[in-house]
Structure 1
Amino acid sequence: MKADTARASHAAGAELLYEWKNDSVYTVYLKFYRDCSGVDASGEIIVEYCNTCDASRGTITLQRMSTLPNGKPNGSPVAVGCSSYPTSCDDASSELPGYREWWYSDTVKLTKACNHWTFSTSISARNKNVNLSSNITTPLYIEATLDNLNAPRNSSPFFSVPPVPYVCQGQNYSYNNGASDADNDSLSFEMISPMEGKFGDCGAGMDIPFTIAASPPLNLTNNPFQTNNTFNLDPVTGQMSFIPALIGAQAITIRVNEYRNHKQIGSVIRDIQISSLQCSSSQPQTNIDTTTLQKDSVVSKTIQVCADVPMQFCFDIKSPEKDAVLVVTDNHDAVIPASNISYSANKTDSIRACFSWTPTLADVGLKIFTVTVKDSTCRPPGISIAQTFTYPINVRSAQSSAYDTAICKYDTITLKPFVGNKFEWSVQPGGSLGTLGCVFCPNPRVWPATNTNYLLKTDVNAFCGKNIDTVKVSVKQEVPDLPSATSNTPVCVGETIKLYGSDMTNGGYRWHGPNGFTDTTHNPLIPNVTFANQGQYYIQTYSYTSQCPSKLDSTYVEILPIPRAFFQYPENICIDQVATIRPDLDYNSVYFWDFANAAKVDTSKLNIHYLAWNDTGAKNVILRLRGVNGCYSYYDTGMIYVHPLPEAKITEISRNDICTGDTIEVAALDIDGYHYQWAPAPYFFDGRSAATKAVVTQKGMLLLNVTDQWGCFASDSIYIVANPCCDVYLPDAFTPNGDGKNDIFRVITEGHHLLSKFLITNRWGQRVFETADERQGWDGTFHGLSQDVGTYFYYLRYKCSDDRYIDKKGEITLIR
Structure 2
Amino acid sequence: MKKLLFLLLWMLGTLTVSAKHIIGGQVYYKFVSSTPNGDYTYHVTMRLYRICESGNNIAEMPNAVYLTAFNKDNNAEYKVYFVSRLGFTTKNLGQVDPCIVNPPPVCFQVGIYETDVTVPSNKKGYIISFQSCCRDNFMVNIEADPLPYPSTGYGTGATYFTELPGTEEGKLGNSSPTFNKEEATLVCANKKFTYDFSATDPDGDKLTYAFCDAYKGGRTTDQSGIPAQSDPPPYYSVNYISPYSGSSPLGPNVSIDPNTGIISGIAPNPGKYVVTVCVNEYRNNELIGTLRKDFHINVTTCVKQVVASMPDKYAECKSMTITFLNNSTLGKPYHWEFGDGATLDTDDPSPVQHTYTTPGLYTAKLYVDKLSNCGDSAIAKVYVFPVYKADFTYQGSCTQKPALFTNTSTTDMGTMTYFKWYFGTGISADTSNSPNPSFLFKSPGQYQVIMFARTSFGCEQYDTALVRIYDKPPLFSTSDTLLCSKDSLQLQASSTSTGTYSWMPNDYKILQPNTPNPIIFPLKDTTYTVTFTDDQQCINTKSVFIDVRDSLIVHTMNDSTVCTGDPVQLTATTDGNYAYTWTDLQTNTVVGTTLNPTVMPSPPRTQYAILAQLGKCHTADTLSLKVVNPPNVKAVPDTSICSGSPVLLRASGGAYYTWSPSYYVKSPKDSITWATPKDTTLFIVTVTDTLGCPKKVRDTAFVAVVPPVHAFAGNDTIVILGTPFQLHATGGIRYTWTPPNGLSDTRSASPIALYDKDMTYTVTAYTKEGCTGTDDIFIRFIKGPEIYIPNAFSPNGDGVNDLFRPIPVGIVAMNYFRVYDRWGKLMYSSTAYMKGWDGTVRGEQAPVGTYVWMVEGVDINQKTITLKGTVTLVR
TM-score by length of 1: 0.30
TM-score by length of 2: 0.28
- Relative contact order higher in (CA < 8 Å, ≥ 6 apart): 1
